[in-house]
Structure 1
C-alpha cells in the first residue's frame, strides 16, 4: 500500500508528526524482519545447493539438512508476510469488484481485514503458548536437537505484525472511504 494509503492522521501538525513517526517505526520494523527473512532465504538456498551437491556428487548426504530447511522455511515465510502485506505485494483476486460496486468493495475489504485480524490473533495466541511450552520442556528437533521455540516465536512475531498491518490498513480504509465511491 502506498504511503498515502496508510496515512493515519488528518488534522494538526502534531498528530501528523506522531502518525508519521509511528509509520516510520512500523516500516523500519517491517524492513528489518524482511531483511532477516532474506538472509534466511539465501542461507537456505546455499544449504540446499550444497546438500544436493554432497548427496549426488559425493554420495555423502548432509545429515540434518532437512531439519534446518524446515525450520528455516517457517522463519523465512513468517517474517516475510507482514512486509509483503504492507507493501501490497501479495495476490489480490478482484473478480467480484465490478459486480459488487464501490460500497461492496469497501465492505468486503473491511470484512476481509477484520476476519484476517481475528484469525491472526488466534494464531498469535496459540503459537505464543506453544513457544512457551517448547521453552519449558526444551523441545528440540530429532536429529540436530535444534530448539523448536524459534519457529513458534517467528510465527508469533510475524503474525502479530501482520495483524498490525491489517489494523493500520483498516484505519486507512475508513480515512479514505470516499475513494471507494469513485
Structure 2
C-alpha cells in the first residue's frame, strides 16, 4: 500500500513540481534570449516565474515529507534507544501534520479572501486565488503524509529512490 501511495505522489505532486521547474527553465531561456537578441523580455516573466516557483516548492513538499528528506537535528540520536526514537518520530510527525494542516487552513481562508477581493497579479492580471488554493491543497497533502506516518512507520528510502 505504501508503494502505491509513493507512486501516486510521484506521479501527481512530483510531476507537477518537475513540470513547473522545466517551465521555469524554458521561460528563463526565452526571456534571456529575448533580452539579448531582441531587446525584449517575456511580458509578465517575473510573475510567471514566481507562480511556477510556488508550484515547485509546494509541489515538492509532500514528497520531501514522504521520503523524510527534511533538515534534521539528530545530535542526540546516539544517546536514545530505538523505542524512544520511534516514539519521537511519531510525535514529530504528529506536530508536523498539525502544523501543515493549520497552515493549509490559513492559506485556504486567505485564498477565499483573494477571490472575494478579486486580487490579481500586477502585470498579467491573473487571479491570485487559484495559486493560493493550490498551495493550501498541497499543504493539506503534506499534512496527510505526516498524519499517515503517525500510525504507520515511514518507509526507509535509499538514496537510489527505491523503498527498502
Please report the TM-score for the alignment, with normalisation by the length of structure 2: 0.81
Counterpart check, 1:69 vs 2:49: yes
Q: CA RMSD in A?
A: 2.3
Counterpart check, 1:51 vs 2:26: no
> Is the 1:74–1:154 Cα contact (8 Å) retained in structure 2?
no
Q: Tell me the distance in 1 between the aligned counterparts of 2:86 and 2:6.
A: 25
Q: Rg: which structure is higher? A: 1
Specify which structure has the bigger relative contact order, considering alpha-carbon pairs within 8 angstroms and separated by 6 or more residues.
1
Counterpart check, 1:141 vs 2:121: yes
Gaps of 5+ in 1: 1-19, 175-182
Q: Among 123, 129, 132, which residue is 2:109 paired with?
A: 129
Gaps of 5+ in 2: 155-164
- Deviation string for 1:117-172 (max 9, x for gaps)? 12111111111111111222221101111111122112111111111111111111
> Is the 2:111–2:129 Cα contact (8 Å) retained in structure 1?
yes
Deviation of 1:93 (Å)? 4.1
Please report the TM-score for the alignment, with normalisation by the length of structure 1: 0.74
Residue 86 of structure 2 aligns with which residue?
A: 106
Residue 158 of structure 2 aligns with which residue?
A: none
Aligned length: 154
